[in-house]
Amino acid sequence: MTTRAGFVALIGEPNAGKSTLTNRMVGAKVSIVTHKVQTTRARIRGVALEGDAQLVFVDTPGLFTPRRRLDRAMVAAAWGGAADADVIVLLVEAHRGITEGVERILDGLGDLGQGRTIALAINKIDRVKAEVLLALSQSLNERFTFAKTFMISAERGYGVDDLREWLAGEMPEGPWLYPEDQIADLPLRMIAAEITREKLTLRLHQELPYQLTVETEKWEERKDGSARIDQVVYVSRDGHKGIVLGKRGETIKAVSQAARQELEDFLGRRIHLFLQVKVRENWQEEAERYSEMGLDFRDGNS
């Protein structure tokens, strides 16, 4: 049997459904999914099997107009992920259509398009009527020559199997890149930090958008099979620390419980999770914080 393996980059605007599609393809939660934009920071890879093919999904940060160093590093990671991939899939939200952001991405694809296989996936198709979908598909294909167009709902699973099957056929022949039972190549310390950050993002809503990061400072394996995980939540200001802690520490306690529960489900064992909140005014200017997130600090230079 001839095996195939390769990298698939999912690109699109923030909130286009890239993380949801990655998780649907892989069949497990490997990438943060929230209703917030810009929640994916590092290039998280999910590994899916389809027949004799192994698909390695590069779930890039959403492409948007960068304003801060962190924004610029995230956008550089997204385009870098696309440039390294065997196949690129552009996700466009059906109900939002061709926004300014999509226009900019289409312009950027021109630079990547030489000799590359680039497909279009119109996502969230359950939100619009058929005639709107067809018009959007036609308009997008007039602006860029996509290898194939798919109509999908990553959340509900519509059209995802067809996309995965097609991607499998597009992968180059070669040995698998990861063991059969591996679903992601992120270190567990980073996955643990991402899970906690997701719970913070969900809990805090609009109060503290993107001024925080989470790092797993210590991971201690215990004799009884459990693990102790110590994490630090870094915020930019004293005022933010109070928001994260909440009244009588209720917010951080609820976040810790939710993150611990998900970590236990994910790892299949008991977890002791300890969170600390620290103020580091300039964490977004520290190279060490970026490497913890899998980003390149230098890419944040204007």
Looking at the fold, whether 133 and 26 belong to one and the same domain comes out as yes
218 annotated as a binding-site residue: no
Selection from 62-66, 152-156, 196-200, 288-292 with the highest mean pLDDT: 152-156
Domain count across the chain: 2
Looking at the fold, whether 26 and 164 belong to one and the same domain comes out as yes
19 annotated as a binding-site residue: yes
16 annotated as a binding-site residue: yes
| pLDDT tens, residue by residue, 23-48 | 888 876 655 444 444 444 445 567 88
14 annotated as a binding-site residue: yes
15 annotated as a binding-site residue: yes
CATH number (domain holding residue 26) = 3.40.50.300
| pLDDT tens, residue by residue, 236-271 | 878 788 888 888 989 999 999 999 998 888 777 899
Task: Return the residue matching tokens 């643990």.
Answer: 192
Is position 179 within any domain? no
pTM greater than the 0.75 cutoff: no
97 annotated as a binding-site residue: no
The Cβ of residue 95 has, within 10 Å, a number of other Cβ atoms equal to 12
| pLDDT tens, residue by residue, 172-208 | 999 988 777 665 555 677 778 888 988 888 888 655 5
**pLDDT for residue 132:** 94
Residues 42-80 as b/e (b if ≥16 CB within 10 A, e otherwise) read bbbbbbbbbeebbbbbbbbbbbbebeebbbbbbbbbbbb
